[in-house]
Structure 1
Amino acid sequence: MNRILWMGIGVAVGVIAFRKITQAQTALGPEGMNRAVGRLADSVYDFADAVRTGMRDRESELRSALGVDDVAAPARDALRR
């Protein structure tokens, strides 16, 4: 009875170890790296987009607080060219 118990535990540990190794190989392979890089690029893009939106919102708040109209926008656009 004791041997059967230890054999069952050994089989369970072997199956778990095999599954973990297979998952690690998948994550470290070329496809796994492509997914990781793609997720990182998406995160960076989302962060940059959030920063741009925040900058636009803050600029409009400052303009309204200072009473600056957007009439100066054509002159500002001419300076950017």
Structure 2
Amino acid sequence: MVRRIFWMAVGAGATVWAMNKANEAVHRLTPDSLSGTAARGALHLGDAAKRFARDVRAGMAEREEQLRGDLGLDGTAVVEPARRRAPLRGEPTYRAISAAPGSPAAALPPPRRTRTTPQAIDSPSRRLDELPGSPNRKDH
């Protein structure tokens, strides 16, 4: 008789435990519970994104301060303004550029007074009509 009472109590306990687990599962799968879980997850994700953005901003500010110190932009370095060199007397303030071969400007006679300056651009050794894909090629 004691054995029967014992097994009946074990069966009743197992039934109560199984019913509680089933009720919890049903409650977890209701639409209200699912939407609440999703909302809590979204809030948690938003908080994590805010913490990440705050950490990135702090790192950017730290790196910017380091770069400013390295470049002397934080007021520790004295930067002198660039001095502009005044042109010498008689030196032109422009750079001479030769006309492209085949252009109307190349047919003009050269100026009477040609002057070579250190700033004159040397003409390339190859002509434009020799370059592949040039619109001035004579073979088409």
Aligned residue for 2:57? 56
Extract unaligned runs of 5+ from structure 1. 70-81
Structure 2 length as normaliser, TM-score? 0.47
* Aligned position for 1:31: 32
Runs of 5+ in structure 2 lacking a partner?
A: 75-140
Structure 1 distance, partners of 2:42, 2:65, is: 35
Partner of residue 42, structure 1: 43
Higher relative contact order (CA closer than 8 Å, sequence separation 6+): 2
Number of residue pairs the alignment of both structures matches: 69
How high is the sequence identity, in percent, across the aligned residues? 28
Q: CA RMSD in A?
A: 1.2
For 1:7 and 1:35, how far apart are their aligned partners in 2? 39
State the partner residue of 2:134. none
User: What TM-score comes out, normalization by structure 1 length?
Assistant: 0.80
